[in-house]
Amino acid sequence: MAFKELVFSGVQPTGNLHLGNYLGAIVKFVELQDSHDCIYCVVDMHAITQAHDPNQLIANIREVTAAFIACGIDPKKHIVFNQSQVAEHAELAWVFNCVARIGWLNRMTQFKEKAGKDRENASIGLYDYPVLMAADILVYRATHVPVGEDQKQHLELSRDIAQKFNNDFAESIAAHGFGEGFFPLPEPLIQGPATRVMSLRDGTKKMSKSDASDYSRINLSDDADAIAQKVRKAKTDPEPLPSELPGLDKRPEATNLVGIYAALSGATKDQVLAEFGGGQFSQFKASLVDLAVAKLGPIGAEMKKLSADHAYIDSVLRDGSARARAIAAPNMKAVKEIVGFLS
Ligand code: TYM
């Protein structure tokens, strides 16, 4: 069966939205608006899989929504909403819990990283996180999912769940007139020079919301001074920049900064090296500061302004939730019929 192309992606409202979220995901969200119908979700149910402060969660939900809009997502043409307002996500996740296998979840590396040594004490929600993620995407029968590199394994699991559901219920799916398969196998879109932005303090570690050092990341809410300071203090090595890509081998910090520059300027890493190769890091960093401040400064300012306008942000989410529900509800109704629930 041919599925209509539809983009879905989500961002957790867990605070400290950073340059990795922006370059790895949100920039792509913005680009895809021109070619596709898009649904962008603030995944608040994923955000409670680890300990959280309810007041902070509300503020973070508004902040991610504000960031989406400040970065250029149009909530009128596309859909922006928060996950908890569309009950079908949780409903489909339950059905998928009965499709996914424990062995599949046991292979998820992000659970192992997040649960750490005290795995017995992790929430079941944290373990089940990727199944809810599959439900997020598939409750809309979305076909394309822009994400950073760290979500690749979760996207593969979503495809496995969709495939197994289609196989397990093949007869019922056909009997209900849905042809060969009810769910598309969603395609990850992981592209560009910054699919994995690394920490500014350690080029071998991913830039992350939870890093104890604020100097490890550029937050989208940082002002020009903070951005400049963090870029200037970013770890580098003593060698000048190479003129060609192979010269970046085994130089994680240099690779990271060149990737960030490339992504922010819309160039390739080759083009960046052609321009800065042979020069000192200090010169390159000065240009990176100018570029980062020019690109991110206005976003941070707009985000702050919008985050404070609760009435506007809440109305965007309410409107988006209603439109999301209108797509999810008939799909969920069909799933219930396919699995044999009497309605
Ligand atoms: P989250 O909130 O951790 O991150 C949001 C997006 O940012 C990307 N990202 C990065 N990209 C490049 N470099 C980095 N250092 C970096 N850090 C984060 C992530 O890959 C992601 O695309 N599980 C998801 C949220 C989610 C979701 C979904 C995504 C829930 N349901 C359905 C897609 C489809 C997450 O935790 O993202």
Sequence spans of domains, the chain? 7-195+310-339, 214-305
The alpha-helical segments, DSSP class H, found in the chain are 19-21, 27-32, 54-71, 88-97, 102-106, 109-115, 124-138, 152-168, 170-175, 224-233, 252-265, 269-276, 281-308, 310-339
| DSSP summary character for residue 79 | E
CB 111 within 8 A of CB 129: yes
Q: Is 300 a pocket residue for ligand 1 (Cβ < 6 Å)?
A: no
Which residue's CA is minimally distant from atom 26 of ligand 1?
A: 10
Q: Which CATH number fits domain 7-195+310-339: 3.40.50.720, 3.40.50.620, 3.40.640.10, 3.30.565.10?
A: 3.40.50.620
Question: What does each C-alpha distance from 47 to 10, 42, 51, 321 come to in angstroms?
Answer: 11, 9, 9, 18
Q: Is 269 a pocket residue for ligand 1 (Cβ < 6 Å)?
A: no
Fold of 214-305: Tyrosyl-Transfer RNA Synthetase (1.10.240)
Ligand 1 atom nearest residue 43's Cα: 30
| Alpha carbon distance 235, 227 (integer Å) | 14
- Please say if the pLDDT value at position 286 is more than 90: yes
Q: Is 259 a pocket residue for ligand 1 (Cβ < 6 Å)?
A: no
Which residue's CA is minimally distant from atom 16 of ligand 1?
A: 20
pLDDT of 188: 98
Nearest to 71 by CA among 149, 146, 155: 146
Does the annotation mark 114 as catalytic? yes
Ligand 1 atom nearest residue 197's Cα: 13
CB 186 within 8 A of CB 219: no
Does the annotation mark 209 as catalytic? yes
Q: Is 264 a pocket residue for ligand 1 (Cβ < 6 Å)?
A: no
pLDDT of 67: 98
What's the predicted TM-score (pTM) here?
Answer: 0.97
CB 146 within 8 A of CB 7: yes
Backbone angles phi, psi at 144, to 5 degrees: -130, 135
| Alpha carbon distance 303, 70 (integer Å) | 5
For residue range 307-343, what is the model confidence (pLDDT) as tens digits? 999 999 999 999 999 999 999 999 999 999 999 999 8
For residue range 43-69, what is the model confidence (pLDDT) as tens digits? 999 999 999 999 999 999 999 999 999
Ligand 1 atom nearest residue 149's Cα: 20
Q: Is 99 a pocket residue for ligand 1 (Cβ < 6 Å)?
A: no
Which residue's CA is minimally distant from atom 18 of ligand 1?
A: 21
pLDDT of 1: 62
| Alpha carbon distance 99, 121 (integer Å) | 25
For residue range 175-225, what is the model confidence (pLDDT) as tens digits? 999 988 999 999 999 998 899 999 999 999 999 999 999 999 999 999 999
| Alpha carbon distance 244, 158 (integer Å) | 38
Which residue's CA is minimally distant from atom 7 of ligand 1?
A: 21
Residue 110 Cα, ligand 1 centroid: separation in angstroms?
A: 11
**Largest Cα–Cα distance of the chain, in whole Å?**
70
Q: Is 46 a pocket residue for ligand 1 (Cβ < 6 Å)?
A: yes
Q: Is 43 a pocket residue for ligand 1 (Cβ < 6 Å)?
A: yes
Does the annotation mark 285 as catalytic? no
